[in-house]
Chain A
Amino acid sequence: MNLHTISALVLRYLFLYTRTPMRMVELVFWPVVDLVVWGNVTVFIQKNTNPEFGSYVLFFLGGMILWDIMFRAQQGVAISFLEDVWTRNLLNVFVAPVRTIEYVSATFIVGLLRIAVTAVVLSLISWFGYSFNVFQLSWWLIPFFLNLMLFGWSLGMISTALILRWGQAAESLAWAIPFFFQPVVAVFYNVDDMPAWSQPIAWCFPPTYIFEGMREVMKTGGMHWSYLWYSAALNMVFMVLAGWLFLWILNQTRKRGLLTKFATQ
């Protein structure tokens, strides 16, 4: 793996984001809209219910911010790939000495940078606007962020693989795929409150442990370590499976001669 190649690819995305202010707006606009809506709902519920329940609804804000971390990581991978498709640059990249792992690593780094921007903006707005300090999660934030980022990267690779297979017609999957998982990973409610049949499904996905852990930390100041281990272990499984799927579909795309279609679409 060549670090110069990865840094060159990351540089390309940085040029793109600094050259196109609309990309920055997209990076900040939707998370802020989400936060403001959930923040206002939280304030409304806090004012109109008893104080004990009012403190629970802060879970919404915590869930929303952490969800956005995962979503931005997934977008970093999938949208970076789509940028190459939209600009008809994919062929230039695939005929350059760029290994698949270097290309994917660059998109991971872009995902990380997107997370950094989103996290800073959301943390500031939630603190100043709604008195919600994301740092009340203290050092637990680090494994929470890492695990959600890993799952976001896995989803990003799956999204990219599906776009490779079905072409630009499938590009809406880049936005939709995380939302297939949202109902079952207990972002805004406890797993115990989900229908019984869906609870075993929820525990199959790493984010479920993180969102459950977040609520526990906000309630008690600590959480079961097992949540982190399960989440990390499942993330490894998802990363391997997503990586395998991506490579398999890329190879199939080459075999079937579909890769060149991305240059002319």
Chain B
Amino acid sequence: MPNDSREIILEARELTREFDGVKALDRFSFQLHRGEVLGLLGANGAGKTTAMNCLLGLTLPTGGDLFAFGLPLHQHRIAILQRANFSSAYTALPGNLLVGQNLLVFAKIYGVRNPKQKIAELMELLEISHLANRVTGQLSAGESTRVNLVKAFLNDPELLMLDEPTASLDPDIADKVRKVVRKVQRERNIGILYTSHNMRDIEEVCDRVIFLHKGKIVCEGTPTELLARSSTNSLEEVFIQIARDGEIIDEPEKESQP
């Protein structure tokens, strides 16, 4: 991994989480720098969600340490969450409220100044201004994802955790979501931890990638580096290789190179 002089905003040291004797995470360590998008990849059950839940404080690790902005996560959870945000394809804002009402509540929870103006700006950015008075539960998957992203950007987070933000989106909407995430991330220098099963996401959005297999890191690097190391032609095939074999099968010619 190349040296990165940027501030470390999220760090896991030897993070371990066991469930009934089975290690969902096994001494998992990584660092996320300010302004970096780090992809967390792996097959179902690889440990991504457990890692994300530990990082969000929803699940307590059985071993190891977690730090955000240099502070131990467990002891400074509220201060850290004030500077962070989260969006997942698998959580929803209350379906029976209007979109504008839901966003206003979260803007107030995060103590956003001029919440209505902030919400209007973000909704315009994500091209969903017309949804403000719609019932949240009646939105399409694409609309719902973008509303969740507005919620995630409300407090101008320095650290953002996105759990499969493009899951169940059509290619057009997924492309729009990727572009917006990248635009906002660059403009505001946000550090993003990004999980996805969509390799197009990873190639377009992530600066660096960590592959998890059975709770352990099996390889990491930039998407280009991983492709160069592999005998395959696409990141998707790298994913399949790791899911099946637990490692990247290096390309023979590359192995023989000094």
Contacts and interface: CB of A to CB of B under 8 A. Distances in A.
Given A92-B91, A97-B110, A254 B59 contact: yes
Interface of A: 2, 4-5, 7-9, 11-12, 15-16, 19-20, 83-84, 87-89, 91-92, 94-99, 254-255, 257, 259-260, 263-264
Contacts of A259: 53, 58-59
Closest 6 CB pairs of A and B: A8-B108, A87-B94, A257-B59, A97-B81, A12-B105, A97-B82
B51 to A, nearest CB: 12
- Secondary structure at the B interface, as helix, strand, loop or mixed, is mixed
Contacts, number: 99
What interface size band does chain B fall in?
20 to 34
Nearest to B19: A257
A11 B88 CA distance: 24
A92 B106 CA distance: 9
Nearest to B17: A257
Given A91-B91, A95-B57, 8 more contacts: A5-B109, A12-B94, A16-B94, A19-B101, A92-B86, A92-B151, A97-B79, A259-B53
B141 to A, nearest CB: 14
A95 B56 contact: yes
A214 B76 CA distance: 48
B96 A20 contact: yes
Contact of A257 (B50, B92, B94, B111): B50
Contact of A91 (B19, B88, B98): B88
Contact of A95 (B58, B79, B111): B58
A255 B60 contact: yes
Nearest to B62: A255
Interface in B28-87: 49-50, 53, 56-60, 78-79, 81-82, 86
A264 B90 contact: yes
A259 B56 CA distance: 11
A11 B108 contact: yes
22 contacts: A2-B111, A4-B109, A8-B106, A9-B105, A11-B108, A16-B94, A19-B98, A87-B95, A87-B96, A88-B92, A89-B91, A89-B94, A92-B86, A92-B151, A94-B56, A96-B110, A97-B78, A98-B109, A254-B57, A255-B60, A257-B17, A260-B49
Residue of A5, A84, A91 with most partner-chain B CB within 10 A: A91
B108 A4 contact: yes
B69 to A, nearest CB: 13
A87 B88 CA distance: 15
A125 B219 CA distance: 71
B78 A99 contact: yes
A7 B105 CA distance: 9
B199 interface: no
Contacts of B110: 96-97
A89 B49 CA distance: 18
B105 A8 contact: yes
